[in-house]
Structures are given as C-alpha cells and as structure tokens.
Amino acid sequence: MNIAPRYLGRGSWLARRDPRVLILVVVFFIFTVLQVWDARLVLLLLGLAVLYYWTGDIPWKDLRRNWTIVFVFIGLLVLVNLIISGGATADVRLADAHVFFYLPILGTPVSAESLSLAATLFLRYMAMATIGFPVAFCVAPNDFGIAFRRLGVPEKFAFGLDLTFRFLPSLAADFQTTVDAQRIRGFDWSAGARGLLGKVRRSGPVIVPTVVNAIAGAEDTIDAMDLRAFGTGKRSWLRKLEYDRTDWLVLLFFGGLLALTTIVGFMSSVLELWIPQFLIDLASR
Amino acid sequence: MATMNFERSTLWEVNSRTIVYAAIGAALYGILLVAQVPIPGTTVSVRPAFALVPFFGYAFGPVVGFFTGLVGNAIGDQISGWGLLTSWNWSIANGLVGLIAGLAPLFLARWVNGNLRDRAIGGAVAGAIAVVIGFLFTFTDLIIQSGNTVGGVTTFYFTVIVADLIATIILVPILVYAWEPVKAQLGR
C-alpha cells in the first residue's frame, strides 16, 4: 500500500523553486480568483494556472484518477448550487432572470443567469484546483516543516508537521500489518458486513489496534525528544531555504496580480458576473 | 500531561508529548482516510478515520485535537493529490472539531471524570457536539465562494455531519474503551 505523498514533479522547474513560493502562490492565486466573476477573465486565470501546472512536469498518467475525482467533485458542487439557486443569482432575482426551462420532477428553473454562474463557478474551482496540485506533487514532503516555519508558523507546530510526514510510512506499514494479521485470523474488514452501520463498526478491529499501538509506541519518540531538550531553546533546521531571483519574480508576479485585481475590483465592475448575450437571446425566444 | 483527566491549567500546554501525539493523530487520520464506506444512493462516504479527530481531542486535549483535524485533513488532501491548502477552510473545520472535543473537561466534567463507561459515553457526546459546531466553519464557503448558495452549503454541511456523526458515535467509545486500559498499563 503506497500512502505517502508522491513527489512526482521532482527535478522540474517548479520543484526547483523554494517551497514557500509554491505555498504563497496558492494563497495569492486563490484570493485573486475569488474576486473575479467574469468567466472570460476566469478562463484567462485558468490558462495561467494550467501554464504554471505545466512547469511542474507532473506525468498525466499518474494523475488521471485525481483529475477524475476533481471533475466529479467540482461538477457535483456546481450542479447542487445550480439546482438550489433556483434560476436566480445574488444580483438577479428570478423575476428578472431569463428562464430557459424547468427541471423535470424538481421544477427548478434554469436561467441564462444561473447557467452563467454555474459555468463561472466551475471554471473558478478548476483554476484553484489546478494551482493547488503542484503543492501536492512538486514539494518534497520533508520540506513542508521548514517551509511553514519560515512562513511564520510557531516552531513546535512546524516541527509537528515535519514529524507527521515522517510518521506516514511507518504508520502506513503498521496499518497494513494489522490488516494482514486480522485477515490471517479470518477477519476481512472490507467484506461480510451488512448495512452502513455494520460496515463502520467492522472497521473497528483494524482501526483500533493501529491507533492504540501507534500511541503506545510514541513513548520512544517522546523520550528521544525530551533527552534532546525539545522545546527549551531555538531549534535549528538541517535544510536552509533561500529565495533566488526567479522565486522573487514569481512571487512578484502573483502578488502583483492579486494587488491589481483587488484595485480593479474596487474601482470598476469589470470583474462582475458576465452573462453571454447569446444565452439571453436563446432564453428570450 | 495526564490524558483524559485534564487540569484547566494544563489544557493548553504544548510539550514534546503534545507534539508527538498530535503528529501521530494527524498521520493516522491522513492514512486511514483511504478507508471509506459509501452511503448508498449518494456520493457521500462515511470515513471511519474521522473518529480519530474527536478521539485525539478528547483523550489528549484541544491542542492535539486541533492539530490532528487540521493537519490530518490537509495531509489526506495532500496524499489524494488535492493539495495541502486547496480546501483550507475544511481543514480548519476538522481542526475545530478536535479542539471542541478537547474542551470536554470544561463542559462534560461529570462524564470525563466518571468511570470507564461514563468516559466512553462522554467521548461520543463530546465528539457529536464538536462535529455539529466545528463544521459550521464550512459556511465560510459562502464568503470564499460567494457564488455558493446558503442552500448549497447547508446541503453539504448536513451530508458531511451525518456521515461524520455516524463514525464518531460508533468508533469514539470503542477507541476510549481500548485506550483506557493501555493508558493505565503505561502508567499515565
């Protein structure tokens, strides 16, 4: 069972960046996208996100399943909102909306406005997911602790994050051992249970020993940390992080984009929801 | 730091034990998220691993609970490829569940300080309260994704809390029953 995060973008242009850059770019970009409601501009931002993603050299074949999940999840989210919005948007009441048709059974109206909103939402989510993927695949897992520390997270918590990543392989192996041990005793947790509650209860004999064993085994780590006087002074990190010129340029670009979007959003209405004229014409027929 | 029987003064203490338990909780939560039981007729799954968030909070305090939920959910997202920060507000909501469960000694003192049966019931009750309150933070989707409707966010809130309540109410008492004798054996 391979549970550890996969460092698929190793050696790529993005992976050579300081890990803080990848984290900050996600923050800058998400707050940029959140201010834009014009689907044409969101499409441009999605293009930028795809370009950024492409520099991570993440093999497509390894992520086919992930992208399928993203499409299904985002699609479902947008669909639920489309149905619940009932043809209206935050700025356009149903009475003023251009209704196409009513959904069978539910009777929910679908209008040019709600369709435009759904399409924009879909593009926004896609842009945010696309920019988020490189954090998952282009940052070495052992760099997260130091990266968050240098971003201002308290030392003990940054170390906790580092420790979490270090525990992943051994705890995943313990989990697999528990699953195998239970199978040898004739207990297969993934089969044989009836009903939802039965299935959840059946996970107990696998989850409980894994958890209790892990907590009981933590004593060695705690002793080792105490013996090294953990938390009594300033901690040093083996890995040193330094921004190079390219890192600064990338940060400047995405930070500038956020600043520009914020200023434009305050000064004009160009970022507001765009409803294509052809949709309104189609609904008016 | 003793587990389960907290003094108010030690509730927010952060030492090596807190950090290690928090890291173990987060790693286990991230790993065990692979196990999911789909609810028939929906796209929602019950995640048995979710019970670890209220359990770690209840057993080891609010700091451990918060870290387990926050980092564990982010690690789960990272492992699945969704990205550590993409759903940051959902990770915070998970963290709040652990934190609120960890505050059980303040609002469920009678159960927390009772016998083993009481403590197990207290774990389920604290977990259930924590799930209902903690996931209210996901309503920030209304601000973050201002195109979302109240109805849309509410639908997701209810489906998620129903699924997580099932895992919490069934598994937290089992975990408390399993952990308490081991804790006594370890002399804590």
pLDDT value, residue A248? 97
Residues A197 and A178 in one domain: yes
Check CB contact of B163 with chain A, cutoff 8 Å. no
| Separation of first and last alpha carbons in chain A | 57
pLDDT surpassing 80 at residue B107: yes
Dist. CA A34–CA B155, nearest whole Å: 22
Q: What is the pLDDT of residues B38-92, one digit of tens each?
A: 777 666 778 899 999 999 999 999 999 999 999 999 988 877 767 777 778 899 9
Residue with tokens 């670890």: B52
pLDDT surpassing 80 at residue B108: yes
Check CB contact of B178 with chain A, cutoff 8 Å. yes
Beta-carbon separation of B52 and A199 below 8 A: no
Evaluate if pTM is beyond 0.90: no
Q: What is the pLDDT of residues A152-171, one digit of tens each?
A: 999 899 999 999 989 998 99
pLDDT surpassing 90 at residue A243: yes
**Higher pLDDT residue, B74 or A93?**
B74
Dist. CA A21–CA A24, nearest whole Å: 5
Burial class (CB in 10 A: 0-12, 13-18, 19+), A61: exposed
- The mean predicted confidence, pLDDT, of chain A is 87
Residues A102 and A222 in one domain: no
Beta-carbon separation of B149 and A84 below 8 A: yes
Q: With a CB-CB cutoff of 8 Å, which residues 92-151 of chain A face chain B?
A: 117, 120-121, 124-125, 128-129, 132-137, 144
Residues A192 and A60 in one domain: no
CB under 8 A, 24+ apart: contacts of A220-227? A221/A163, A221/B20, A222/B16, A222/B17, A222/B20, A225/B16, A225/B19, A225/B20, A226/B16
Residues A199 and A271 in one domain: no
Beta-carbon separation of A129 and B86 below 8 A: yes
pLDDT value, residue B2? 45
* Band of pLDDT at residue B127, cut at 50, 70 and 90: very high
Lowest mean pLDDT among A69-83, A122-136, A222-236: A69-83
Residues A180 and A98 in one domain: no
B171 CB neighbours in chain A (<8 A) are: 200, 203-204, 207-208
pLDDT surpassing 60 at residue A1: no
- Percent of chain A residues topping a pLDDT of 90: 43
- Percent of chain B residues topping a pLDDT of 70: 86
pLDDT surpassing 90 at residue A51: yes
Average pLDDT estimate for A267-280 = 82
Identify the domain containing residue A203 by its residue range: 154-227
Domains within chain B, CATH numbers bracketed:
8-186 (1.10.1760.20)
Residues A96 and A211 in one domain: no
Residues A223 and A274 in one domain: no
Domain count, chain A: 2
Residues A116 and A248 in one domain: yes
Residue among B60, B59, B38 nearest B48 (CA)? B38
Lowest mean pLDDT among A27-31, A217-221, B84-88: B84-88
Residues A137 and A263 in one domain: yes
Residue A9: inside a domain:
no
* Band of pLDDT at residue B184, cut at 50, 70 and 90: confident
Q: What is the pLDDT of residues B27-36, one digit of tens each?
A: 999 888 877 7
Residue A4: inside a domain:
no
Residues A196 and A262 in one domain: no
Residue A100: inside a domain:
yes
Tokens describing residue A25:
């770019």
Residue A233: inside a domain:
no
Supply φ then ψ for residue A163, to 5 degrees.
-65, -40
Average pLDDT estimate for B85-105 = 90
pLDDT value, residue A231? 80
Beta-carbon separation of A168 and B152 below 8 A: no
Residues A92 and A183 in one domain: no
pLDDT surpassing 90 at residue A187: no
pLDDT surpassing 80 at residue A87: no
Q: What is the pLDDT of residues B142-181, one digit of tens each?
A: 776 655 667 767 777 888 899 899 999 999 999 999 998 8
CB B91 within 8 A of CB B124: no
Comparing alpha-carbon positions, the chain A residue that sits nearest to B70 is: A161
Dist. CA A128–CA A161, nearest whole Å: 24
**Higher pLDDT residue, A66 or A10?**
A10
Check CB contact of A226 with chain B, cutoff 8 Å. yes
B172 CB neighbours in chain A (<8 A) are: none
Residues 6+ apart with CB under 8 A from A37: A120, A271, A272, A273, A274, B147
Q: With a CB-CB cutoff of 8 Å, which residues 69-98 of chain B face chain A?
A: 71-72, 75, 77-86
pLDDT surpassing 80 at residue A39: yes
Residues A212 and A280 in one domain: no
